Amino acid sequence: MNVVVDYVGNGVPGSATPGDQPQSGPGRNVGYFDSASAEPLHPAARDSLLAALDSGFADPLGLHRPGRNARLLLDNAREVVAACLNARPDEVVFATSGAAAVHAGVLGLLAGRARISTRLVHSAVEHSSVIQAGAWFARSFAGSTDVVPVDAWGRVSPDAVAAALQSPAGLLAVQSANGEVGTIQPIPSVLEVSGEVPLFVDFAATAGRLELPPGWSAAAAGAHQWGGPAGVGVLLVRKGSRWRPPFPADDRADPRTSGFENVPAILAAAAGLQAAVAEREERNARQRRLVERIRDRVAATVPDVEVFGDPVDRLPHLLSFSCLYVDGEALVGELDRLGFAVASGSACTASTVTPSHVLEAMGALTHGNVRVSLTRDTTVEEVDRFLDVLPGTVARLRERAGVR
């Protein structure tokens, strides 16, 4: 059997070869709006990946020329990532995914302060990898977790953080921005009240898009959201912070991670991040205009809709809204049939019966949810085609469901 490289005629922007323009119809994408799940590989990342597949295959710890070559590529990637994130190269650790980086960051900081407190305080809208790492630590080491509530926009209040930190805490976890609804968290204000308690920042939603605010003890993100390949995570551990290895030791050089480094993918992730940062001013401005257009048109053309998140202080590329009386899975399916790829935080999707904990924490409508997240080359024409079909699609689903 041969390896299959393309099942349905891939219409993802940036991956279509000349003369193979995406068409409408089943399996053809006329609009890929799920970059918050996976941004298509940036051309700079692709070039680096292809080149490094041949030149960076060897063991970077090997005492030979191919090994030294792989080592140079890895060190180069580390320096590039450090420069993009205002960190020192020795603070940069590569992990096998964003979730693995989150786990190592959260658990290592908790382990480092376990003698003072094993209590994790986190916002109600953290990514599940943060919440699950905290729950695992609590089960394994008799720790505890406390959840800081958010407002209707999904923003954590520094006053609520201060209240939660009245009792001793081992770690505070607050994301840089929420990847479901786009609201930016007030990290500088949180730091004013967090005192001695170390801060873990999940910056997956802002990496390559917005500056990482200083003040973290550890921070983590995954490369696939900035246009790098999947399977590469970045963990930052601040020099001098009390971080202890939470997992079995590996004999390789760096105790903060384990396993044989995927040097080509790591180099590609670094190249993708560098390109994303270099382009971000122009790209962010363009995406903000498109998101503003979606916000206005959705509110004007779809009845009984709630648009989420802070309208101003938000991620540039992402918008989430919920349509009353609509089944989220059916809506994603209908839009897919029309060639549009979107995500949904509704229950009855993603093989879960529980709704998005983010929407629930905001007191938002959890069914009929759609998250639109734009790629670096989403065009106004793609957005307009989506906005043209959305109201009719929602109306059809409501009629089918028996809404009077």
Partner 1 sequence: MSERQSGSPFAADQEVDCRGMRCPLPIIRLANQIGEVLLGQSLAVVAEDPAARPDVAAWCRMRGHEYVGEDTAPDGVPRYVVRRLV
Residue 81 burial by Cβ neighbours in a 10 Å radius (0-12, 13-18, 19+) = buried
Distances (CA, A) of 60 to 56, 72, 248, 366: 8, 8, 21, 47
Q: How far is the CB of 306 from partner 1 (least distance, A)?
A: 7
Is 239 a binding residue for partner 1 by CB under 8 A? The answer is no
N residues, the chain: 404
**Residues 303, 306, 310: CA angle, nearest 5 degrees:** 140
Binders of partner 1 in range 259-318 (CB under 8 A): 304, 306
Which DSSP category does 119 fall into? E
> Which CB atom, from 100 or from 323, has the smaller least distance to partner 1?
323
> Which CB atom, from 246 or from 368, has the smaller least distance to partner 1?
368
Contact region with partner 1 (CB under 8 A), list: 155-163, 217-225, 280-288, 356-364: 356-364
Residue of 122, 317, 367, 371 interacting with partner 1 (CB under 8 A):
367
Q: Specify whether the backbone of 375 is left (phi greater than 0), alpha (psi in -120 to 50) or beta.
A: beta
**Alpha-carbon torsion 210, 211, 212, 215, what sign?**
negative
Query: What torsion, rounded to 10 degrees, do the Cα atoms 361, 157, 221, 282 define?
Result: 110
Q: How far is the CB of 305 from partner 1 (least distance, A)?
A: 9
For residue 145, give the nearest of 158, 156, 155, 132 by alpha carbon: 132
Q: How far is the CB of 124 from partner 1 (least distance, A)?
A: 12
> Which CB atom, from 188 or from 363, has the smaller least distance to partner 1?
363
> Which CB atom, from 50 or from 401, has the smaller least distance to partner 1?
401
CB 394 within 8 A of CB 326: yes
Q: How far is the CB of 353 from partner 1 (least distance, A)?
A: 6
Q: In the sheet where 318-323 sits, what is the strand order?
A: 305-307, 318-323, 369-373
Size of the site for partner 1 (CB under 8 A): 25
In order, the DSSP letters of 10-54 are: ---TTTPPTT----SSTT--SEE-BTTT-PPPPHHHHHHHHHHHH
> Which CB atom, from 228 or from 368, has the smaller least distance to partner 1?
368
Query: How do beta strands 92-95 and 119-123 pair?
Result: unpaired
Q: How far is the CB of 7 from partner 1 (least distance, A)?
A: 30
Residue of 23, 24, 128, 354 interacting with partner 1 (CB under 8 A):
354
Q: How far is the CB of 178 from partner 1 (least distance, A)?
A: 16
Residue of 184, 291, 318, 347 interacting with partner 1 (CB under 8 A):
347
Of these residues, 72, 162, 348, 350, which one is catalytic? 348
Residue of 176, 185, 366, 373 interacting with partner 1 (CB under 8 A):
366
CB 80 within 8 A of CB 232: no
> Which CB atom, from 279 or from 304, has the smaller least distance to partner 1?
304
Alpha helices by DSSP H, 113-181: 128-141, 158-164
> Which CB atom, from 202 or from 334, has the smaller least distance to partner 1?
334
**Can you tell me the distance from the alpha carbon of 47 to that of 54, in angstroms, rounded to the nearest whole number?**
12
Q: How far is the CB of 368 from partner 1 (least distance, A)?
A: 6
Residue of 115, 139, 239, 404 interacting with partner 1 (CB under 8 A):
404
Q: How far is the CB of 134 from partner 1 (least distance, A)?
A: 21
Contact region with partner 1 (CB under 8 A), list: 131-139, 313-321, 361-369, 370-378: 361-369
In order, the DSSP letters of 44-111 are: HHHHHHHHHHHHS-S-TT-SSHHHHHHHHHHHHHHHHHHHHTT--GGGEEEESSHHHHHHHHHHHHHH
348 is catalytic: yes
Q: Give the CA count within 13 Å in the CB-facing half-sphere of 132.
A: 9
Residue of 187, 359, 372, 374 interacting with partner 1 (CB under 8 A):
359
Which DSSP category does 229 fall into? -
Is 368 a binding residue for partner 1 by CB under 8 A? The answer is yes
Binders of partner 1 in range 317-346 (CB under 8 A): 324-328, 346
Please identify which residue in the block is written with the tokens 């040097």: 263
CB 323 within 8 A of CB 308: no
> Which CB atom, from 312 or from 353, has the smaller least distance to partner 1?
353
Residue of 162, 230, 348, 395 interacting with partner 1 (CB under 8 A):
348
Residue of 363, 377, 388, 399 interacting with partner 1 (CB under 8 A):
363
Q: Which residues are catalytic?
A: 348
Residues that bind partner 1 (CB under 8 A): 304, 306, 324-328, 346-348, 353-355, 359-360, 363-368, 401-404
